[in-house]
Amino acid sequence: MATQPLSPHGLKFELEEQANEIILHCTGRITAENSEAFQKKIRDLIPESRGQIGAVTHRIVLDLSNVPHVDSSGLGVLLGAWTAAKSKGCELEMVNLNPRVEKLVEITKLDTVFKRGRVVAAGGSAAATPAFDVPLSLSPEEAWQQAIGAGMVVHRANPLNCETSIPALMGGVVMPNPRFYVRNHFQVPKLDSSSWRVNVVGLVEHPLSLGLRDFMKMPCQTQFATLECAGNGRSLLSPRVNGEQWNLGAVSTAEWTGVPLAEVLDRAGVKAGAREVVFRGADSGKLDLNSEPVRFERSLSIDDAHGSEALLAYAMNGETLPIQHGYPLRVIVPGWYAVASVKWLTEIEVISGGFSGHYQTEAYFFEWQRGEQLVREPVSLQRVRSLITEPEADSEVELGELPIRGVAWSGAAPIARVEVRIGGGSWQAARLVGERKRHSWQGWELIARLEQPGSTVISARATDRASRTQPDSPEWNRLGYGNNVIQKVRVDVR
């Protein structure tokens, strides 16, 4: 075995090749400074396609016995490597973790991901073949217990609404499925796996009725996309507004695999005069005791349906779509607030007029008083936002160097820059970390220096390539949507 330097920052490795297995012995710290080089080296070991696995390897083992420290960027790289290996039908396993690293993995709940078995890609897809025997129901108690076990911040148990804790938004490539935030308006629907279909109806030449196996036979795509609830940050508005009181963790990123919406619409043949496409989920319920039940349904314009890169997803992070996230099939509209990404999809209807369902016209809109005029604007693209994930709010930090890290995203355009301010000082440019993806959050970091003890406030603001920047103060609106005010984190310097 020949020892080779992995990066100019002291991390080294040894490669040991065995039958159907490669062992990568790592020595040194895995940090933001060497994470990109580390990620590239691991990905170089992964076969390009499932067809090459037999000739290359079935398994990659990362021996971390001589790795004393892994920071948040390093954990993100490990998770990204695991996802990449899995998407190619290759197993990746971490072994011999240093006790400190093991503890960090357990605290962040990433052990629930890293210790899972191999998932094999199917049909050229970059994800697992969806299971057809997944239970198509989940009781409120089961859903709540799963969320609590995963360390989620639960706001409501029935229907389940829970967010990811801020420290868990560590800037990794994706959020593990058990820790991906959940937003429900009604209970998880009970579906019959043998009869579940998606009906494509309305102004189409060829109405369709499609089961999961039908979708699996179609061309598929895989893309990273960040979903965010439009009410994320609502609890920070003053005066208080009604609605789920989200802090800042109603956001997560996943790797989604499915059939492009445009592919299904093209097969159905959209007729002239079509204006909107309506998506209907299986979830429904009453808005109040005296009302009739309504279904969760949303629409996109024909142009957005074709141009938004919308996906009908059946896999999430290389696994069968979990039922709480919409199994068997959900819509993913990259860059839009997640209300557009309808779960438990059962019907796609092409219509000639504007859609006026409850969740289209009576909720999910911005409303402001402009002089004597009441102005409304529908919720659509995610507003630009940056979150500080490290250090934690109200934590104690040492004088001297302080790593400040976080994630940033925008529905309008890729992130152009993130700036950080310590106390009343000037804004400092942070370094954007990792591969840049159009519809996925962007990791960032700044190594700041703290010279004075006492309490101070760290602020972070993001600007996207459409020149949209986070505001200094929140834009209050009656329904509490889109609060992307600059985040401030107080720390005590010792």
Higher model confidence: residue 231 or residue 34?
Answer: 231
Angle between the 72-87 and 35-45 helix axes, to the nearest 10 degrees? 20
pLDDT value at 36 more than 90: no
Cis peptide before 474 (omega within 30 of 0): no
Average pLDDT over residues 63-81: 75
Average pLDDT over residues 438-443: 94
Dist. CA 265–CA 407, nearest whole Å: 34
Query: What pLDDT sits at residue 37?
Result: 79
Lowest mean pLDDT among 28-32, 118-122, 421-425: 118-122
pLDDT value at 372 more than 80: yes
- Residue 40: how many other CB atoms lie within 10 Å: 14
Q: How many CA atoms lie within 13 A of 326 on its CB side?
A: 28
Place of tokens 């104690």: 396
Lowest mean pLDDT among 5-19, 93-107, 126-140, 425-439: 126-140
Q: Calculate the CA dihedral of residues 129, 226, 274, 363 and round it to 10 degrees.
A: 120
pLDDT digits (tens, 9 = 90+) for 284-294: 999 987 788 99
pLDDT value at 383 more than 90: yes
Residue 229 Rama label (left phi>0; alpha psi -120 to 50; beta): beta
Higher model confidence: residue 241 or residue 53?
Answer: 241
What's the pTM value of the predicted model, to 2 decimals?
0.75
**Segments making up each domain of the chain, as ranges:** 3-114, 140-363, 385-493
- In the chain, % of residues over pLDDT 90: 61
Tokens of 277: 């496409």
Second CATH level (architecture) for the domain 140-363: Alpha-Beta Complex (3.90)
Instruction: Band the pLDDT of 102: cuts 50, 70, 90.
Output: low
pLDDT digits (tens, 9 = 90+) for 243-276: 999 999 999 999 999 999 999 999 999 999 999 9
Query: What pLDDT sits at residue 132?
Result: 52
Asked if residue 426 lies in contact with residue 446, where contact means CB atoms within 8 angstroms, the answer is no
pLDDT value at 327 more than 50: yes
Is beta strand 345-351 parallel, antiparallel or unpaired with respect to 276-285? antiparallel
Tokens of 91: 């197993």
Average pLDDT over residues 349-372: 93
Classify residue 162 as exposed, middle or buried by CB count within 10 Å of its CB (0-12, 13-18, 19+): buried
Higher model confidence: residue 180 or residue 56?
Answer: 180
The mean of the pLDDT values for the chain is 85
- State which CATH number among 3.40.50.300, 2.60.40.650, 3.40.50.970, 2.30.31.10 fits the domain covering 385-493: 2.60.40.650
Query: What pLDDT sits at residue 75?
Result: 72
Lowest mean pLDDT among 192-196, 464-468, 479-483: 192-196
Query: What pLDDT sits at residue 65?
Result: 76
CATH number of 3-114: 3.30.750.24
Query: What pLDDT sits at residue 369?
Result: 83
- Highest-confidence segment of 12-26, 37-51, 182-196, 392-406: 392-406
Instruction: Band the pLDDT of 343: cuts 50, 70, 90.
Output: very high
What are the CA-CA distances from residue 78 to residues 33, 45, 81, 88, 392 (Å)? 15, 14, 5, 16, 22
Average pLDDT over residues 158-179: 87
Q: Which residues 6+ apart lie within 8 Å of 281 measured at CB?
A: 189, 295, 296, 297, 326, 342, 343, 344, 345, 346
Tokens of 198: 């998606």
Lowest mean pLDDT among 40-49, 147-156, 168-177, 180-189: 40-49
Average pLDDT over residues 141-161: 90
Query: What pLDDT sits at residue 2?
Result: 43
Closest CA to 344 of 282, 301, 386, 435: 282
The separation between the first and the last C-alpha atoms of the chain, rounded to the nearest angstrom, is 46
Average pLDDT over residues 355-365: 95
